[in-house]
Amino acid sequence: SQTIHQWPATLVQPVGSPLSLECTVEGTSNPNLYWYRQAAGRGLQLLFYSIGIGQISSEVPQNLSASRPQDRQFILSSKKLLLSDSGFYLCAWNKGRFAGNTIYFGEGSWLTVV
């Protein structure tokens, strides 16, 4: 069966510090991968998605970036965090093009920028 792992689960970072959140999917190949952000009490905003290694699409301009160095690995990064970057970050995947619509979410990473 397929599983998604996301870490770290929680982190507190000072303003201006770098960020790296990592996500891996097991049990599938060539997945579509996604990063979403959820601000406290708000909906989910799509940040980035990827349909393959090295292929990243950005939905919202900001100081975050994403990379996909391996087929089932997706990384969210920032060089300098802002207070407004605080939120609940969710990695998600689906089976890829022509293989279904269902998107599965990880358990999320809580980021507090202080």
Partner 1 sequence: QQQVKQSPQSLIVQKGGISIINCAYENTAFDYFPWYQQFPGKGPALLIAIRPDVSEKKEGRFTISFNKSAKQFSLHIMDSQPGDSATYFCAATSGSARQLTFGSGTQLTVLP
Phi and psi for 15 in degrees, rounded to 5? -55, 135
Per CB under 8 A, the segment of 16-24, 49-57, 69-77, 79-87 that binds partner 1 is 49-57
Closest by alpha carbon to 66, among 104, 103, 21?
21
Q: Least CB distance from residue 16 to partner 1, whole Å?
A: 27
Q: Phi, psi at residue 102, to the nearest 5°?
A: -70, 130
Segment near partner 1 (CB under 8 A), from 20-28, 62-70, 74-82, 89-97?
89-97
At position 71, the amino acid (one-letter code) is D
Among 66, 94, 111, 113, binds partner 1 (CB under 8 A): 94
Q: Does residue 26 belong to the site contacting partner 1 (CB under 8 A)?
A: no
Binding partner 1 (rule: CB under 8 A), the pick from 21, 90, 111, 113 is: 90
Q: How far apart (Å, rounded) are the C-alpha atoms in residues 38 and 107?
A: 12
Structure token digits, residue 32 = 């579509």
- Smallest distance from the beta carbon of 88 to partner 1, in angstroms? 8
Give the integer Cα–Cα distance in Å for 43 and 96: 24
Which residues here bind partner 1, judged by CB under 8 A? 32, 34, 42-46, 49-51, 57, 59, 90, 92, 94, 97, 100-108, 110
